[in-house]
């Protein structure tokens, strides 16, 4: 599974993904959309490529970036299951707490 937290942990990378959601983009188009340098954008693209969240293809001299929808769907489902498991554990703990009657009216 990709490290979705690494991929989404930066606002520039989230911005790149938002742009790619609208359609494939060249590196030049992505650079023009941000107020940072081309090397900085390239660094963010490389992280997204490493995590397989995006893919790149060549069209002549242009690199075309696109979302890897299948990987995003897989990462989403795995993250959803992980977070669901955390919430389930919290609900079980709350149920045990309530069943023991270890709460006071002022707690609410």
pTM over 0.85: no
Round to whole Å and give the CA distance between 17 and 45: 10
Judged against a pLDDT cut of 70, whether residue 2 lies above it is answered with no
Sign of CA dihedral 30, 33, 36, 38: positive
- Cα 32 to Cα 8: distance, rounded to the nearest angstrom: 21
d(CA 26, CA 39): 14
- Three-class SS of residue 108? coil
The arithmetic mean of pLDDT across residues 54-77, rounded, is: 92
The two tokens of residue 39 are 């090397």
The pLDDT assigned to 105 comes to 54
Dist. CA 24–CA 83, nearest whole Å: 30
pLDDT at 31: 95
Residue 92 has pLDDT above 60, yes or no: yes
Instruction: Report, at the CATH architecture level, how domain 1-100 is classified.
Output: Orthogonal Bundle (1.10)
Distance CA 86, CA 92 (A): 10
């Amino acid at each position: 599974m990709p490290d979705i937290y690494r991929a989404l942990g930066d606002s520039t990378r989230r911005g790149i993904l938002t742009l790619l959601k609208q359609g494939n983009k060249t590196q030049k188009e992505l650079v023009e959309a941000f107020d940072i340098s081309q090397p900085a954008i390239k660094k963010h693209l490389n992280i997204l490529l490493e995590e397989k969240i995006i893919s790149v293809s060549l069209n002549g001299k242009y690199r075309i970036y696109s979302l890897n929808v299948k990987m995003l769907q897989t990462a989403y489902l795995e993250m959803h299951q992980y977070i669901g498991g955390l919430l389930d554990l919290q609900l079980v703990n709350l149920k045990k707490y309530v069943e023991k009657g270890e709460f006071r009216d002022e707690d609410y």
